[in-house]
Amino acid sequence: MNKFDRIFDLCKILKGRRTPISVLALAERLECSVPTAKRTISKLRVELGAPIKTIRGRGYLLRDDTLEGPYELPGLWFNDSELYGLLMTNQFLGQVEPGLFKKDIEPLKKRIVNMLGHRHAGGTELIDRVRMAANASRPIDRQRFRQCCTALSERSRMDIQYHARSSDQQTTRIISPQRLTHYRDNWYLDAWCHQRKGLRRFALERIENIEIRSQPAREVAADELRQHDAAYGIFSGTGNQSAVIRFTPRRARWVAEETWHPDQTGRWLEDGRYELTIPYDDPTELIMDLLRHGPEAEVIKPTSLRQAVAERLRQTLAQYSEENPSRIKK
């Protein structure tokens, strides 16, 4: 834990108490030595102006009743998830067109800007200094998006035409919408398909000609929805297969700190490689993610996945072959 996180945690501990706490208890909760805990208390009290009182024989107490309001740390004290959440919210709200909720959204936008431009943080400098990059996002029709949200909130069935990319075929479906999913900068609708008699995931930009029915939507239990997400990536499934991938020592320095799936397991091998095990069902997205690691990733099992990756690599190599008739000649 660095000193800034320790100060933040100390302030949070003291603000959450109405009785004194000893330096020994603080050191234990801050996971540091007693001298380090004392230095942190001194810094928070002297340099950052926290009204910390020493109660003889009992410990320390934050008496913020001496201030006009609750004590707050000066400057910018966001952790990574808080900063990401605020910046993403600010970015999304900036894309909202004037409409029904303009009066409600504007105060929220101003509040977020004020939080990001907290005193001693350089005004709104941070907003311009942090880049939130979208990756391969696909535009969707706003009217169809609103119709999906309406059916979702009213719990109504929908008639849709769906143009699947994989088959390039258009089909008519009756679906019961269950939830919206925002994944890798794109929107998807999880719904019960009454023709297929099962849960399906639809890319919102591929949904066409929506008609909301008066019939109530079929409800799917929360446990079944969670099971729908057990597999790797956006492709739904129960995750009944496990992929074992080994990464070279060089690539392992990155992969060992990444989360590919909530239920993944990993271990270091004696030769410095890193072995990652993740559940999957449809291998499409997993193969695409593995290919970007090139020769630094090797599928160990199952054999079917190993063969699928090898075949994709052979097809890629063939594209660059001199014998390839479709190869562009300069």
220 confidence band (pLDDT: 50, 70, 90): very high
Give the mean model confidence (pLDDT) for residues 67-72: 71
143: nearest Cα among 211, 218, 216: 211
pLDDT reported for residue 193: 96
pLDDT reported for residue 8: 84
CB 189 within 8 A of CB 202: yes
Predicted structure pTM score = 0.65
Task: Specify the CATH number for 3-66; select among 3.40.30.10, 1.10.10.10, 3.60.70.12, 3.40.50.300.
Answer: 1.10.10.10
Regarding predicted confidence, which is higher, 188 or 67?
Answer: 188
Q: Which amino acid is at 153?
A: S
Regarding predicted confidence, which is higher, 102 or 296?
Answer: 296
pLDDT reported for residue 171: 95
Hey, where are the domains in the chain? 3-66, 80-129, 142-228, 241-319
pLDDT reported for residue 120: 41
Which pLDDT tens digit goes with each residue over 93-149?
A: 776 666 666 677 777 777 777 666 544 444 456 666 677 777 788 888 888 998 999
- For the ranges 57-66, 265-274, 276-285, the lowest mean pLDDT is seen at 57-66
Please name the residues in contact with 193: beta carbons below 8 A apart, sequence gap of 6 or more: 173, 174, 175, 199, 200
- Whether the predicted pLDDT of 274 surpasses 60: yes
Which pLDDT tens digit goes with each residue over 238-251?
A: 778 999 999 999 99
- Whether the predicted pLDDT of 77 surpasses 90: no
Regarding predicted confidence, which is higher, 99 or 264?
Answer: 264
pLDDT reported for residue 29: 93
Mean pLDDT for all residues in the chain: 85
Q: Report how far apart, in Å, the C-alpha atoms of 11 and of each of 32, 40, 80, 148, 191 are.
A: 15, 10, 18, 44, 45
Domain spanning 241-319, CATH architecture:
2-Layer Sandwich (3.30)
CATH number belonging to domain 142-228:
2.30.30
DSSP 64-81: GGGSSS----SS----HH
